[in-house]
A and B are shown apart, each in its own frame.
Chain A
C-alpha cells in the first residue's frame, strides 16, 4: 500500500481547510486518507479520457431570475445568531498579523 500522504502534505491540507489538527490526528488522517486514496486509485487506470466530465446530472441551462427587489432579513434576528457583533456588524478577531 503506497503511502499517499506524508505528514507535511497533511499539514498543508489542514491549513488550506482551516482545521487545527493535533499531532495524533495528523498521523491518523494521513493513514486513513492514504487508505481511501489507495482504494480510489483504481479509477485512475480507467481509460475514459474521451468521456466528458459530468458536473450535473441535469440538462438545464440559462436558469435566471428577474432583477426585482425582494424582502431582506431582519438584522436583529441575524445578529442574534452571531458569535460576536458590534454596531450592527459581525465582529471578528484581527484579520492579518502585524507586518514584521
Chain B
C-alpha cells in the first residue's frame, strides 16, 4: 500500500518546466476521450478545438518565460452546470439545451488562470437532482468499472471521466453528496469544501444554501491542488467567506499522529457488509498511523435526510422558476404567456425535476411552511449542533460515503425514496455547511470500489486532506482509478 503518484501535479510540473507540451497533453486527453466516450458518455460536449487553443496558449506562456499557473496544461472536465462563456451549459436538461452563457463562472475563470485546459462539459443528473446520472435528459453516464452500473450522481460524468483516466481533474458540485457519492462509486477522490469557501457565481443553482463546487481527482494531492486554485473569497458571491484559499498540498504528508478520529456509529448498520468492513479497516489504519480512534453516536444526523428533502426541493423550486421560456432556453409556444410557461416547463423538465419542484412548491406554500420548511431548518440547527458537540471531542469524523457499491441501471428508479437513501451519509455535511472528502479505500461487493468519508468542521480542509492522505496510503490500490473501461 503506497501513495499513488499524482497525475495532475506531475503534468503541471513537466509543462511548467517545458519538458512536455500542453498541446501534447491535450491531444492525449482528447484521444482518450474519443476512444471511450461512446461507451461511457461522460461528456455532454467535448470542446476539442478550444482545448487545443488553450493548450497552445499555455505553451506560449511557458516559451515566453511567463508563469503559466500551478495547473499548467492539466486537462480538466467541468460539470455541465458550471457556466462557460460561449460553450453550451445545459445542466443535462432539455430546457437549457444549447444555451450559451455570456459569462464564465468564477471557478472556470480561476482554473483557466491556473493554466488548466478545459476538455469538455460533463454529464449530470438534470439540474444536479439525482444520485445516479440516470436523470440526465441526454442519457446516463456509465461506470468505467462496470458499464452496466451507474457512476453515481449527480456529478456522474465528472467522476467517470476521472475514473476512466480521460482527464486527471474534474469539477463537480455537491448539494447532498453529488461529488462524494459518485467519487465513492467510481473509485476516485471527491471533495465538498466548507460552504462559502468556493464561489458559487456561475454555478447553476439547485439548492442555494447547500450547493458547493468541489474537485475530483485520482489522488488526494491532485484534488487538494485543484481546491487551492478554486477556493477563496469572491466579491460576486455574497455567501463567499472572506478567507483566502487555504494551502493544503504542502501539509499533506504531515501524518495523523494524535489526530482524534470519531467513527460515526449510527451510519454503519445501513451500510452493506463490505462497506462496513472497509470502514473498520480504514479506522484501524488511521489508528495504526497514530490517530486516536473511537466510536461516536450522532443520532441527530439521521434526521438529516428528511430535512434535506424538504429544504433542497424548496430552494430548487424557487431557483428553477426562471426557466419560463421567456429569455433563453426552450420555449413551447402558446397564445398566452402563462400557458407558454407551463407547457415549456412541462416539456423541458424531466420527471425528477418536476417532482422536486412540486414538492418544494408544496412545502413553501401557505399553511405548510411552518410545519415543513421551518421545521426542516430547525433540524439543520440540530444537526449543526450535534456536529459542534462532536468536534469538541474529535478533530475529524469517519463514515462510509455511500451505503454500498455502484448499483445497476434501473435498480433504484422505480421508487424515488430508494434513490434518496443513497445520500444518507453525505447530506449532514451539506446541512451544516461542513467540508467532507471521499477517498477510495477498498473493493466492496462485486469487487467494485468503496469510498470512505472524512468529515470535519468548517474550514478544516487542511486537516481533512491530511487524514485523507493517510487513508490513501493505507488503501488498496486496486480500489482506485484510473481504470480501463469495463475493468473486470
A–B contact (CB under 8 angstroms): yes
On whether the beta carbons of B325 and A83 are closer than 8 Å, the reply is yes
* 4 closest A-B pairs by CB: A57-B433, A53-B377, A83-B331, A20-B342
On whether the beta carbons of B361 and A55 are closer than 8 Å, the reply is no
How far does the Cβ of A11 sit from chain B's closest Cβ, in whole Å?
11
Q: List 23 A-B contacts (CB under 8 A).
A: A16-B361, A16-B365, A17-B345, A18-B338, A19-B358, A20-B346, A33-B355, A33-B359, A35-B415, A51-B378, A53-B374, A56-B433, A57-B195, A57-B196, A57-B431, A57-B433, A58-B241, A58-B433, A81-B99, A83-B327, A83-B328, A90-B326, A94-B336
Binary interface encoding of chain A residues 43-66 relative to chain B, with 1 for a CB under 8 A from any of its CBs, else 0: 110101101111111101001010
Total number of residue pairs linking A and B with CB closer than 8 Å: 175
How far does the Cβ of B240 sit from chain A's closest Cβ, in whole Å?
8
On whether the beta carbons of A52 and B381 are closer than 8 Å, the reply is yes
B324 on the interface (CB 8 Å rule)?
Answer: yes
Q: Which chain B residue shows the least CB distance to A84? A: B331
On whether the beta carbons of A19 and B328 are closer than 8 Å, the reply is no
How far does the Cβ of A65 sit from chain B's closest Cβ, in whole Å?
7
Instruction: Evaluate whether A40 and B354 lie within 8 angstroms (CB atoms) in the complex, with A54-B381, A97-B336 already known.
Output: no
On whether the beta carbons of B333 and A51 are closer than 8 Å, the reply is no
Residues facing A in B333-361 (CB within 8 A) are 333-343, 345-346, 349, 351, 354-355, 357-359, 361
Residues facing B in A60-100 (CB within 8 A) are 60, 63, 65, 73-74, 77-78, 81-84, 90, 92-97
**Across-interface contacts of A13 in B (CB, < 8 A):** 358, 361-362, 365
Instruction: Evaluate whether A20 and B328 lie within 8 angstroms (CB atoms) in the complex, with A43-B376, A73-B102 already known.
Output: no
Q: Which chain A residue shows the least CB distance to B85? A: A77
Select which of A5, A16, A36, A93 is within 8 A of B333 by beta carbon.
Answer: A93
**Across-interface contacts of A18 in B (CB, < 8 A):** 321, 324, 338, 341-342, 345
How far does the Cβ of A53 sit from chain B's closest Cβ, in whole Å?
3
Instruction: Evaluate whether A40 and B358 lie within 8 angstroms (CB atoms) in the complex, with A18-B345, A83-B329 already known.
Output: no
On whether the beta carbons of B324 and A17 are closer than 8 Å, the reply is no
Residues facing B in A1-38 (CB within 8 A) are 5, 9-10, 13-21, 25, 29, 32-33, 35-37
**Alpha-carbon distance between A10 and B209 when the two chains are bound, in angstroms:** 26
Q: Which chain A residue shows the least CB distance to B99? A: A81
On whether the beta carbons of A19 and B345 are closer than 8 Å, the reply is yes
**Across-interface contacts of B345 in A (CB, < 8 A):** 17-20
**Alpha-carbon distance between A65 and B234 when the two chains are bound, in angstroms:** 12
**Across-interface contacts of B1 in A (CB, < 8 A):** none
**Across-interface contacts of A78 in B (CB, < 8 A):** 102, 327
Q: Which chain A residue shows the least CB distance to B242? A: A60
Residues facing A in B218-246 (CB within 8 A) are 235, 238-239, 241-242
**Alpha-carbon distance between A14 and B358 when the two chains are bound, in angstroms:** 7
Residues facing A in B106-121 (CB within 8 A) are none
Instruction: Select the residue from B326, B362, B376 with max chain A CB neighbours within 10 A.
Output: B362
On whether the beta carbons of A53 and B380 are closer than 8 Å, the reply is yes
How far does the Cβ of B245 sit from chain A's closest Cβ, in whole Å?
17
Instruction: Evaluate whether A55 and B377 lie within 8 angstroms (CB atoms) in the complex, with A74-B102, A83-B325, A90-B326 already known.
Output: yes
**Across-interface contacts of B99 in A (CB, < 8 A):** 81
How far does the Cβ of A36 sit from chain B's closest Cβ, in whole Å?
6
**Alpha-carbon distance between A12 and B187 when the two chains are bound, in angstroms:** 44
- How many residues of A are counted as interface, with CB atoms below 8 angstroms from the partner's CB atoms? 53
On whether the beta carbons of A60 and B354 are closer than 8 Å, the reply is no
How far does the Cβ of A43 sit from chain B's closest Cβ, in whole Å?
5
Q: Which chain B residue shows the least CB distance to A49? A: B378
Choose the segment among B9-17, B301-309, B443-451 that binds chain A (4+ C-beta atoms closer than 8 Å).
B301-309
B382 on the interface (CB 8 Å rule)?
Answer: yes
**Alpha-carbon distance between A85 and B222 when the two chains are bound, in angstroms:** 46
**Alpha-carbon distance between A14 and B339 when the two chains are bound, in angstroms:** 12
How far does the Cβ of B93 sit from chain A's closest Cβ, in whole Å?
14
B375 on the interface (CB 8 Å rule)?
Answer: yes
On whether the beta carbons of B196 and A60 are closer than 8 Å, the reply is yes
On whether the beta carbons of B372 and A40 are closer than 8 Å, the reply is yes
Instruction: Evaluate whether A40 and B338 lie within 8 angstroms (CB atoms) in the complex, with A16-B365, A48-B378, A60-B241 already known.
Output: no
On whether the beta carbons of A82 and B328 are closer than 8 Å, the reply is yes
B289 on the interface (CB 8 Å rule)?
Answer: no
Q: A25-B354, A60-B238 are in contact. List 5 more A-B contacts (CB 8 A).
A: A33-B362, A73-B102, A78-B102, A81-B99, A93-B333
**Across-interface contacts of A39 in B (CB, < 8 A):** 306, 309, 417
B248 on the interface (CB 8 Å rule)?
Answer: no
On whether the beta carbons of B433 and A19 are closer than 8 Å, the reply is no
**Alpha-carbon distance between A48 and B384 when the two chains are bound, in angstroms:** 13
On whether the beta carbons of A19 and B357 are closer than 8 Å, the reply is yes
**Alpha-carbon distance between A35 and B379 when the two chains are bound, in angstroms:** 20
On whether the beta carbons of A54 and B378 are closer than 8 Å, the reply is yes
**Across-interface contacts of B420 in A (CB, < 8 A):** 36
B432 on the interface (CB 8 Å rule)?
Answer: yes
On whether the beta carbons of A17 and B377 are closer than 8 Å, the reply is no
On whether the beta carbons of B326 and A83 are closer than 8 Å, the reply is yes
